[in-house]
Amino acid sequence: MSDDLEQETLAIHTGIHRSQFNEHSEAMYLTSSFVFESAAQAAARFSGEEPGNIYARFTNPTVTAMEERLAALEGAETCIATSTGMAAILSCIMGLLSSGDHIVASRSLFGATVNLFNNILKRFNIETTYVSATNVGEWETAIKPNTKLLFIETPSNPLTEISDISALSALAKRKGVWLVVDNCFCSPILQKPLELGADIVIHSATKYLDGQGRVLGGAVLGNHELLMDGGVFGFLRTAGPTMSAFNAWVILKGLETLKIRMDAHTAHAMKVARWLESQPNVARIYYPGLPSHPQYELAQKQQKTGGGIVSFEVKGGKEGAWRVIDETRLISITANLGDAKSTLTHPASTTHGRITQEARDSAGITDGLLRVAVGLESPNDIMADLARGLS
């Protein structure tokens, strides 16, 4: 596919390899293995002399199509699809790191990522140091001789802190370490970390890439040498956290509408955020698309828009926040995000419920904080649904 096509076109036309039936919409290849024409061909496939599919734990044409499409959108040489977003993070680290290596990570990461680093990688002698998402100086100080990788998520969940991808990638290059960016909140439509100097992009395809809350999926993206020779694909092929052909097909079709969905999520979130700013019972808003956001300038430079996630602090603490949740009739009370349906979460008692009150307070996750992942419903209906519990 030509390089000069724009993202919305690439999202529809990349990764199409028609079969002998010349189907217009992409076919789904539900098969666990592939047949060879001869013993010699089987041997050539296994030795890598002849490219082609062998077994679906390694590759499958539907998964390959999704990988090609997502790679085009992120501007990546290579994409490796995985069964979930967490499998993408695990595959990245198991492929690139060894026992004795060290990670420097943002303090504001997805809960399961923190559990993976603290409770699982630690058992294999991979240690993680956590630093501020926004203070680049802290990252420099935390890098040790055995540091291999810096890990960020921007904007962060739920406080929408923005990490400076260009500054951290410059630091990573100077120190000879890799910068990994979990780009789940923005999707490639709003932010392209590889263009800003990151080495690897991680996705939970479960969120905006699918976009309708149907399947789990993940992806690791970066240059061919790092992912293929560096061991990420080798880990996937051997250990097996592979994406299924069915899930790949759903995500492949989801990507076709990613641009118009992200535009709508953003426009709706902006309306909801502006409206929340005018509500007397709202103490504070966290939305990178508003000039009141402490890193508005950086957000403007780094991501195209503020995205679809708005967090806000309700007056009246937990009671006030729970009232807003319990008065909704339309918005789903669930921790998922990136869906056509709006979702509403109380981080202090759910996603961040297992950390101490003290840690939550120092992180700014107060009892009155709510996070809304603004969906594709009419923003007027979303605001009316929130207004009931805010009045």
Binding site residues, ligand PLP, CB under 6 A: 84-86, 110, 112, 153, 157, 182, 184, 204, 206-207, 216, 218
Instruction: Give the shortest CB-283-to-ligand PLP separation in angstroms.
Output: 25
Extended strands (E) in the chain: 78-82, 102-106, 127-131, 147-153, 178-182, 200-204, 218-222, 282-286, 309-314, 332-333, 343-345, 369-373
Nearer to ligand PLP, 88 or 194 (CB): 88
Instruction: Give the shortest CB-368-to-ligand PLP separation in angstroms.
Output: 22
DSSP lists the bridge partners of residue 153 as 182
- How far apart are alpha carbons 339 and 261 in whole angstroms? 10
The answer to whether 35 and 3 are in contact (CB under 8 A) is: no
Nearer to ligand PLP, 15 or 241 (CB): 241
The answer to whether 91 and 235 are in contact (CB under 8 A) is: yes
Question: Side-chain half-sphere of 63: how many Cα atoms within 13 Å?
Answer: 25
Nearer to ligand PLP, 88 or 390 (CB): 88
Instruction: Give the shortest CB-336-to-ligand PLP separation in angstroms.
Output: 8
**21: amino acid identity, one letter:** F
Nearer to ligand PLP, 184 or 251 (CB): 184
Nearer to ligand PLP, 106 or 147 (CB): 106
**88: amino acid identity, one letter:** A
- How far apart are alpha carbons 154 and 148 in whole angstroms? 20
Nearer to ligand PLP, 307 or 379 (CB): 307
Instruction: Give the shortest CB-350-to-ligand PLP separation in angstroms.
Output: 13
Question: Side-chain half-sphere of 223: how many Cα atoms within 13 Å?
Answer: 9
Instruction: Give the shortest CB-313-to-ligand PLP separation in angstroms.
Output: 21
Residue with the shortest CB distance to ligand PLP:
85
Instruction: Give the shortest CB-81-to-ligand PLP separation in angstroms.
Output: 12
Look at the alpha carbons of 49, 50, 51, 52 in this order and tell me if their dihedral is positive or negative: negative
